[in-house]
Amino acid sequence: DDVDRAYFAVFDGHGGVDAANYSATHLHVNVGLHEEIVTNPAEALKCSFQKTDEMFLFKAKREKLRSGTTGVCALIVGNKLHIAWLGDSQVMLVQQGKAVTLMEPHKPERE
């Protein structure tokens, strides 16, 4: 279609780099191939985070890997910004010199 899209992501590995590298390699592919990327980008992000997690868990079990990652992803579709995150990674938007709260990070004490 003729809609401009841009994808940005950061992954912060824990206990090694395997999960972060895997996510960096596969998440954007899962987002791009998701059937709802055009009609519902937020759902495409959510499902793609879950699918990437399941894919890595399968690989980690098979290869006896023991690492994890937090992640934050920004998807710009036209003039809309979609944010998805996992763990305590955060994203900050600065608009006209002022910080705009986009999310509340996941914390162990948060329900």
Give residue limits of the domains in the chain. 5-101
Of residues 80, 68, 77, the one with CA closest to residue 38: 77
| 9-60: pLDDT as tens digits | 999 988 899 999 999 999 999 999 999 999 999 999 999 999 999 999 999 9
- What kind and span of H or E run contains 104? none
Q: How many CB atoms lie within 10 A of CB 73?
A: 23
The one-letter amino acid code at 62 reads R
- Residue 98, classed as helix, strand or coil, is strand
Q: Which CATH fold topology does 5-101 show?
A: Phosphatase 2c; domain 1 (3.60.40)
Question: Residue 43 corresponds to which tokens in the numbers above?
Answer: 């759902």
Cα radius of gyration (the chain):
15
Q: pTM value?
A: 0.86
Mean pLDDT over each residue of the chain, to the nearest integer: 92
